Amino acid sequence: MIEITDKSKCCGCSSCVQRCPKQCISMREDEQGFLYPIIDTLKCIDCSLCEKVCPMLNPSLAKEPLQVFAAKNKNEEQRLRSSSGGMFILLAQYIIKQGGVVFGARFDQKWEVEHCYAETIEELEPLMRSKYVQSNIGNTYKEAEQFLKQGRSVMFVGTSCQIAGLKRFLRKEYNNLLAIDFICHGVPSPGIWRKYLEEIKFSLSEAAGKNSVLSFSLKPMPVITGINFREKQNGGYGWKKFGFEVRIKLPSEGDKNSVLKSDIFYENIFMRGFLSNLYLRPSCYRCTAKNGASGSDLTIADFWGIQDYHPEFDDDKGTSLVFVHTDKGKSVIERLKTKIDVLESNMSEAIESNPSYTRSVSIPEKYSLFWKTFIKSESVFISVMATMKLSIKDRIKRKVKNRFAKVIKSDLNKY
Ligand SMILES: Cc1cc2nc3c(=O)[nH]c(=O)nc-3n(C[C@H](O)[C@H](O)[C@H](O)COP(=O)(O)OP(=O)(O)OC[C@H]3O[C@@H](n4cnc5c(N)ncnc54)[C@H](O)[C@@H]3O)c2cc1C
Ligand code: SF4
Ligand code: SF4
Ligand code: SF4
């Protein structure tokens, strides 16, 4: 029976939950906002299936890829709407046109991130683009297994540990499965993301309604209408300096008043905390699924550094990096070659600017300070700013407005 005594040894894939024949495992959120399995020992029959399907208890060996290349989806409109070079949408459309099913991550109604599947081209849109939050995998391994057993083509995209979890869960190879992971820096906490969204709704409503005489508790809550972690076009950020964008509608002001919060990624509080590794899942600091060990057919990523190696290939609209691990992956790419601009590459070019392919990030020095501050302040803004010691000038630049800004300023003195 699974027992989590060291949180860094559970990636939260839910393979154990979905395989348990007694349905006696459920996932529960911890104080850092990550899900972990909890077992109802009264119902458990000690069959050990949960241990057999756990990818962290049964890690696979690293594997050299068959091929590494840079790629750009020739459909520029699709590429601009994608995070990198638009490989996901190209592969996904191909599978749907074969009558297949595509699994990936989308925002749910509360703007939290969940895994789901698409059976039509239209249903692919919400799956596009990176969401830098751990997705809730739900029952998608079971759903994928059902489709596979029916003989339908299934493409499953996820973090490397989600793909490793899927492969352990299935316990056999399926010719009709195309498993795709991406180079994974690590996943931020869904609990931190939820709190961050509350805080930006609050600060944006304060900023927009500064002349209102209503107190905050009487004001209608603003509604989020869109989020894009990888905005390339609005604001003219481009691919390398992508923008983080949130759209909010203020109910009192009708459709006209859609507030846009948009920052270059390194100036956004949530992205700064993410990229400084302050709130990644504990397993991300000791990842066992990197370097081809997930069992995926293809790994897709950003080809960071392409401008140095092959400047003629870079137009700042997005270039993908693709690792081919299996013959199955190779043959799908062959079939799509007329739709992709391809440039052969190699491992040293690929990983020099993208070390997360081979190694986990380190726990930052200020990790404990962040969590101590967060537990005390219950604020992502305060905790990231206090941890990173942002200057007053930085704070003003980030436009944390009015009353909210004052609260933060006075609270900061406490930490
Ligand atoms: C948490 C995270 C960390 C990443 N770290 C790196 C990195 O260090 N280096 C790098 O080069 N690339 C990284 N990527 C991958 C990169 O951001 C792009 O997702 C990838 O290059 C694919 O881009 P695309 O243009 O082909 O397709 P896109 O249209 O951008 O497709 C993205 C695909 O990823 C899936 N997806 C999105 N969010 C999640 C999520 N939270 N969990 C599981 N699946 C998700 C979508 O469903 C879709 O299938 C990361 C992605 C995520 C989500
Ligand atoms: S040992 Fe078997 S019954 Fe018990 S929790 Fe694990 S899978 Fe479920
Ligand atoms: S890594 Fe996955 S299978 Fe293993 S204990 Fe955690 S949730 Fe269960
Ligand atoms: S870094 Fe590893 S453990 Fe963390 S989400 Fe990515 S693949 Fe999973």
Q: Is the pLDDT of residue 216 over 80?
A: no
> Which stretch of 98-102, 143-147, 161-165, 246-250 has the lowest confidence by average pLDDT?
246-250
**DSSP, res 196:** H
Predicted confidence at residue 290, as pLDDT, reads 98
CA of 244 to the centre of ligand 3 (A): 31
Q: In DSSP terms, which residues pair with 105 in a beta bridge?
A: 115
| Ramachandran assignment for 186, one of left (phi > 0), alpha (psi -120 to 50 degrees), beta (any other) | left
CA of 137 to the centre of ligand 1 (A): 15
The Cα 207–Cα 210 span in angstroms is 6
> pTM for the full model?
0.93
Measured from the CB, is residue 105 less than 6 Å from ligand 4? no
Q: How far is CA 221 from CA 38, 77, 113, 308, in A?
A: 35, 34, 21, 47
The Cα 402–Cα 262 span in angstroms is 18
Q: Is the pLDDT of residue 272 over 80?
A: yes
Percent of the chain with pLDDT over 90: 81
Among 69, 182, 351, which is best to mutate for testing ligand 1, by the most ligand atoms less than 8 A from CB? 182
Atom number in ligand 1 closest to CA 92? 49
Atom number in ligand 4 closest to CA 159? 7
Domains of the chain (ranges; CATH) run 7-52 (3.30.70), 67-188+280-357 (3.40.640), 190-278+365-412 (no CATH)
Predicted confidence at residue 254, as pLDDT, reads 60
The Cα 244–Cα 268 span in angstroms is 7
Q: Is the pLDDT of residue 362 over 70?
A: yes
> Which stretch of 62-66, 112-116, 149-153, 389-393 has the lowest confidence by average pLDDT?
389-393
Mean pLDDT (the chain, rounded)? 91
Torsion angle of the four alpha carbons 329, 332, 336, 342, in this order, in degrees rounded to the nearest 10? 20
Among 14, 135, 161, which is best to mutate for testing ligand 4, by the most ligand atoms less than 8 A from CB? 161
Closest C-alpha residue for ligand 4 atom 8: 161
Among 3, 5, 6, 13, which is best to mutate for testing ligand 3, by the most ligand atoms less than 8 A from CB? 13
The Cα 23–Cα 39 span in angstroms is 9
Environment class of 371 (CB within 10 Å of its CB; exposed 0-12, middle 13-18, buried 19+): middle
Q: Is the pLDDT of residue 280 over 90?
A: yes
Closest C-alpha residue for ligand 3 atom 8: 16
* CA gyration radius, the chain: 22
Closest C-alpha residue for ligand 3 atom 5: 10
Which residues are within 8 A (CB) of 327 and not within 5 positions of it... i.e. 6 or more apart?
66
The Cα 47–Cα 51 span in angstroms is 9
Predicted confidence at residue 265, as pLDDT, reads 86
> Which stretch of 246-250, 297-301, 334-338 has the lowest confidence by average pLDDT?
246-250
Q: Is the pLDDT of residue 317 over 90?
A: yes
Closest C-alpha residue for ligand 3 atom 3: 54
CA of 182 to the centre of ligand 4 (A): 10
> Which stretch of 98-102, 158-162, 388-392 has the lowest confidence by average pLDDT?
388-392
Q: Is the pLDDT of residue 411 over 60?
A: no
Closest C-alpha residue for ligand 4 atom 2: 287
369 in Cβ contact with 119 (< 8 Å) = no
Looking up tokens 């352990």, which residue turns up?
168
Predicted confidence at residue 414, as pLDDT, reads 40
Atom number in ligand 1 closest to CA 85? 25
pLDDT in tens, 60-103: 999 999 999 999 999 999 999 999 999 999 999 999 999 999 99
Q: How many residues does the chain have?
A: 415
Per DSSP, which regions of 282-339 are E strands? 298-302, 320-324
Give the mean pLDDT of 333-339: 97
Among 15, 24, 36, which is best to mutate for testing ligand 2, by the most ligand atoms less than 8 A from CB? 24
Atom number in ligand 1 closest to CA 83? 30
- Pocket residues for ligand 2 (CB within 6 Å)? 1-2, 20, 22, 24-25, 39, 44-50
